[in-house]
Structure 1
Amino acid sequence: MPQLPLITGADPARSLDALFVNAPLRDYGQRPRTNDYTLPVLGMAYIATYAQQAGFNVGVLDAEAHGLGIMETAKLVNAAAPRWAAMNLLAPTYEMSARIAAALDPDIALMVGGHHAKAMPARILADPRMANLRALVLGEGELRVAALLEDEQRRRELPGVVWRDRLLGTQATGIPDDKKLSAQMLGPDINALPYVNRAFLPQDPYQAAPTETDRRLAVSRNTALLQHAARAGHTEANIVGSRGCPYNCTFCGAAVSANPDLLIRVRGPENIIGELDMLHDEYGVTAFRFVDDLFLGVGRVIDEQMEAFTRHKIGERYVWDATGRINVLDRISDQELDRLVANGLREVALGIESGSNRILKAMDKRINAEMTERVARRLVEHGIGVKGYFILGFPGESHDDLEATVRHIHNLWRIADSAPGDVRASVFEFRPYPGTPVWQTLTAAGHDPDTLLAYGDVDLTEDGADESMRQRDEFNFSVGIQFGDVPLTKVRSTLATLTREQHERNQATQETAA
């Protein structure tokens, strides 16, 4: 294999069995990226790690992390000449992936997976740009990808693998002989999977600069670890603690109704702690971010994990961030919050989404604005930061609903101003994803799927905000449709205002700390 420095994790002395390609969010050959950090492709790295341990020579080309353009990405894949190229398909970046696939040498077999592949397999198989697609893998891919690398003909016996018969032009599906083996293939034991080989991830672990949350924690908790982090930051890594989500938020690709075949599983606490310690020993990591759909989402699981974290004195050695569920956190006691703090919880990412109870009900969030403010107040008073995600322009949203969300965000900021914990607001324009409950609602109401899939960039510069204020390029997309009563110009000006206000809060706290 030729020396290709942007391909990570592969053995350059051997021919490449598979190259896992993460398409760029935009064509950076046309417009260079503004930001230099993106979330690592942990799902892809899990599959690559499993394949590597099965004896295959595999690598990852993270075009988003490297800010590559479409043609540059395709040229790198062709130069590497793998037997297989594998891509994770997401609806907003499908066009990027399809254009890369169309530019690949015909001798390279293509396999795909991901949310978009699962939601629209027939459409993808019919796309002429995917002419060399030999396997579309529905759901979790570790075991089935390794089987395909062993022998392409095994696709006939693999569950959840589809392809287009070249002679008949029809869709073909693998038919497993062993039902027990089939279940294991579709939902592998996540405690038996190897820890992710971080050699596949060009930006993880990474050195993070001190944040306002770190500075506040240094004051409120006053440990040597936090004092050092407030000055120099942490070496951080992302980690997955569970798979699947039991909730059905209508806009979310992880909604349970969109994934009826997905068995919800949580890694055992000893398995998780083993990976934390491994990352610390090998890379010096002292801060972790749980990026699964919902790490702090079930009370009994929180209790089980925290019992083990206490026993292993995790809070004395590390800090960590996690996704959480507002209605679950609303039910836990102050004593349980104290235990989360003692075990190193630094920040919780919450899907707050709206300040309008009417819209929250339409989203099937099972929360209300009063509950969110109550939970946020308790968290920040305990010194736990909150990162809140918000959606503007949801179907049916009125001017009053939009204003309720703006007031809600300002209320949360005011709550944080007098507490040891911080509140950060991350605001996005609504965009529909295929397979989600709201997608079904919109298409049933007459919206054309082609129009709903026409994702484009959200440009906020005319309204006084730019990409550098957003910190990352991820998910700043729009399909250009007004779904509620509020015109898109108003949605975007509000989005820009809130983004700018959050940026100014960040800048003010940094200047105060300096």
Structure 2
Amino acid sequence: MPHLPLISGADATRTLDALFINAPLRDYGQRPRTNDYTLPVLGMAYIATYAQRAGFTVGVLDAEAHGLGIDETAKIVNEAAPRWAAMNLLAPTYEMSARIASQLDPAIALMVGGHHAKALPDRILADPRMVNLRALVLGEGELRVAALLEDEQRRRELPGVIWRDPILGTRATGIADPQTNARMLGPDINTLPYVNRAFLPQDPYQAAPTTTDRRIAASRGTDWLAAAALNGHQEANIVGSRGCPYNCTFCGAAWSANPDVKIRVRSPQNIIGELDQLHAEYGTTAFRFVDDLFLGVRDVIHEHMKAFAETGIGDRYVWDATGRINVLDRLSDNDLDTLVSNGLREVALGIESGSDRILKAMDKRIDAEMTDRVARRLLAHGIGVKGYFILGFPGETRVDLDATVQHIRTLWDIADHNPGDLRASVFEFRPYPGTPVWTTLTEAGHDPDALLAYGDVDLTQDGADESMRQRDEFNFSVGIQFGDVPLDQVRTTLAMLTREQHERNHGGPAAAA
């Protein structure tokens, strides 16, 4: 099979039933990528793994991980000649996906899914570059993709599958037995096979030791987990749940944008089984839970930590997770001690803003004082915090922006006086279709075409080139000023904060201050 080294998980002796394509975030044929790591496409790998277990020959072409250009990606797909090409559509990369699709051999059937497909299905069906599109899958795809690979005509009986009638030009939708809808649309995640990591070219991966790793290693002496921390862990990404009960207005996972998604949490035994499998196969000792909110429900946290303690997870592994500030605020100090003893290394928090007015507009259900309190307690327990922040949110004033800058610096100061470390990851606001704020903006008169005109932003004029290197893929904008602060000033602030965080990471001036 041509280009086999770039197609992950494929059997070279068999014809591909499906090739899953993760489009590049920009056309690297025009400008080579600068970062050397991107998050693995776990959702795509879940679908590929399920299809493989169902007996189909599949592979994953992660054009972002390999830094491929549009033309090269399309060439690889055409030479591999799968029966189906499958794409995960995201708003910032839709143009990349559509350009690849326009170059595919007409003999290759195309299926698509993802947040963008779910939010704007008719727009995608009408795109002339998607002429080969034979199935648009809304929501979680494991069971329905396998059914489509078995027989394309099964789309007529599958819920949440849409296509355009080639003769009439009208939208056609599968009609399923209502009793099968729930199972097809929201599979029991405890029965899904563990992700076959052969489909992920960069996961597991060797990570450099963090500040928290060094602290843990020093406290543990000479045991093998301490040695792993000092040398850098073999790390893997993992999903512990699906769905989110919150409605943050900017987020594609908001419940109002996903009324069909039932919140499901994997059992602790199921999760522990995957941790142990990854350790046995790859020597993995660190894990990163990347689902929307792994630490998002207090009762679930207690259940998982009880099982983690009973199986000695904290003696064997470290792990990072996403968390919800208002939930963590209700945990006791004993709860935080339990998290630490069970291996928690860092929590990623959607702090977003230092302005209570903006936090209310975002429907975050938190305030800056709560964030300060939660971060202080986590850091005091030696738990690292990765805080996400958004600049330029609709309606943001200079006072709001300054409050966010001050909030970040206050949190850095708290970290400087506690054993835990704080990393600030700052982004320019960008609207995603299907989210509550998208509806607000379009109802206010914003042109959807303008809201979808994503482009990458060059911050080198503000001296942020090196500091942006590891997050090159996230630096996107639609070029619209949504608040009161001019866009160039938003970007100058973004570059300043990112540069300061970079200096803190590397012991520069900010770290010494």
Q: Give the 3 Å change call, closer, same or farther, for CA 389–220 of structure 1 in structure 2.
A: farther
Within a 5 Å distance, the mapping from 1:370-409 to structure 2 comes to 370-409=369-408
Deviation of the 1:459 alpha carbon: 1.2
What is the identity, as a one-letter code, of the residue corresponding to 2:234? T
2:2–2:76 CA contact under 8 A, matched in 1: no
Q: Give the Cα–Cα distance (whole angstroms) in 2 for the partners of residues 227 and 386 of structure 1.
A: 21
Q: Tell me which residue corresponds to 2:302.
A: 303
Within a 5 Å distance, the mapping from 1:461-472 to structure 2 comes to 461-466=460-465, 468-472=467-471
1:467–1:473 CA contact under 8 A, matched in 2: no
Deviation of the 1:21 alpha carbon: 0.1
**Partner of 1:276: helix, strand, or coil?**
helix
Q: Deviations over 1:130-153 (max 9, x none)?
A: 001000000000000000000000
Q: Does 1:209 align with 2:208?
A: yes
Within a 5 Å distance, the mapping from 1:147-166 to structure 2 comes to 147-166=147-166
Within a 5 Å distance, the mapping from 1:266-345 to structure 2 comes to 266-345=265-344
1:148–1:154 CA contact under 8 A, matched in 2: yes
Within a 5 Å distance, the mapping from 1:57-136 to structure 2 comes to 57-136=57-136
Q: Deviations over 1:433-483 (max 9, x none)?
A: 000000000000000000000001121101110165351223211000000
Q: Which moved more, 1:120-129 or 1:2-11?
A: 2-11
Q: Give the Cα–Cα distance (whole angstroms) in 1 for the partners of residues 108 and 377 of structure 2.
A: 54
Q: Give the Cα–Cα distance (whole angstroms) in 1 for the partners of residues 70 and 39 of structure 2.
A: 19
Q: Give the Cα–Cα distance (whole angstroms) in 1 for the partners of residues 219 and 429 of structure 2.
A: 37
2:315–2:343 CA contact under 8 A, matched in 1: yes
2:44–2:88 CA contact under 8 A, matched in 1: yes
Q: Give the Cα–Cα distance (whole angstroms) in 2 for the partners of residues 13 and 220 of structure 1.
A: 50
Q: Which moved more, 1:36-45 or 1:227-236?
A: 227-236
Deviation of the 1:226 alpha carbon: 5.0
Q: Give the Cα–Cα distance (whole angstroms) in 2 for the partners of residues 343 and 474 of structure 1.
A: 32
What is the root-mean-square deviation of aligned Cα atoms in Å? 1.5
Q: Give the Cα–Cα distance (whole angstroms) in 1 for the partners of residues 380 and 138 of structure 2.
A: 43
Q: Deviations over 1:43-92 (max 9, x none)?
A: 00000000000000000000000000000000000000000000000000
Q: Tell me which residue corresponds to 1:40.
A: 40
1:216–1:421 CA contact under 8 A, matched in 2: no
**Partner of 1:5: helix, strand, or coil?**
helix
Q: Give the Cα–Cα distance (whole angstroms) in 2 for the partners of residues 356 and 219 of structure 1.
A: 38
Q: Tell me which residue corresponds to 1:434.
A: 433
**Partner of 2:507: helix, strand, or coil?**
helix
Q: Give the Cα–Cα distance (whole angstroms) in 1 for the partners of residues 238 and 229 of structure 2.
A: 22
Deviation of the 1:214 alpha carbon: 1.3
Deviation of the 1:386 alpha carbon: 0.2
Q: Give the 3 Å change call, closer, same or farther, for CA 350–37 of structure 1 in structure 2.
A: same
Q: Deviations over 1:312-369 (max 9, x none)?
A: 0100000000000000000000000000000000000000000000000000000000
Q: Which moved more, 1:501-510 or 1:163-172?
A: 501-510
Q: Give the Cα–Cα distance (whole angstroms) in 2 for the partners of residues 456 and 356 of structure 1.
A: 27
Deviation of the 1:212 alpha carbon: 1.8
**Partner of 1:168: helix, strand, or coil?**
coil
Q: Tell me which residue corresponds to 2:242.
A: 243
**Partner of 1:238: helix, strand, or coil?**
strand
Q: Give the Cα–Cα distance (whole angstroms) in 1 for the partners of residues 245 and 466 of structure 2.
A: 33
Q: Give the Cα–Cα distance (whole angstroms) in 1 for the partners of residues 465 and 384 of structure 2.
A: 25
**Partner of 2:425: helix, strand, or coil?**
strand
Within a 5 Å distance, the mapping from 1:477-496 to structure 2 comes to 477-496=476-495
Q: Tell me which residue corresponds to 1:25.
A: 25
Q: Tell me which residue corresponds to 1:361.
A: 360
What is the identity, as a one-letter code, of the residue corresponding to 2:289? F
Deviation of the 1:3 alpha carbon: 5.4
Q: TM-score, normalized by length of structure 1?
A: 0.98
Q: Give the Cα–Cα distance (whole angstroms) in 2 for the partners of residues 102 and 166 of structure 1.
A: 17
Q: Tell me which residue corresponds to 1:476.
A: 475
Deviation of the 1:28 alpha carbon: 0.3
Deviation of the 1:235 alpha carbon: 0.2
In structure 2, list runs of 5 or more residues that go unmatched: none
**Partner of 1:508: helix, strand, or coil?**
coil
What is the identity, as a one-letter code, of the residue corresponding to 2:336? L
What is the identity, as a one-letter code, of the residue corresponding to 1:271? N
Deviation of the 1:183 alpha carbon: 1.1
Q: Give the Cα–Cα distance (whole angstroms) in 2 for the partners of residues 512 and 252 of structure 1.
A: 32
Q: Which moved more, 1:220-229 or 1:80-89?
A: 220-229
Q: Give the Cα–Cα distance (whole angstroms) in 2 for the partners of residues 191 and 512 of structure 1.
A: 44
- Identity among equivalent positions (%) equals 82
Q: Give the Cα–Cα distance (whole angstroms) in 1 for the partners of residues 243 and 456 of structure 2.
A: 29
Q: Give the Cα–Cα distance (whole angstroms) in 1 for the partners of residues 26 and 38 of structure 2.
A: 13
Q: Tell me which residue corresponds to 2:51.
A: 51
Deviation of the 1:511 alpha carbon: 13
Q: Give the 3 Å change call, closer, same or farther, for CA 300–223 of structure 1 in structure 2.
A: farther
Q: Give the Cα–Cα distance (whole angstroms) in 1 for the partners of residues 192 and 204 of structure 2.
A: 20
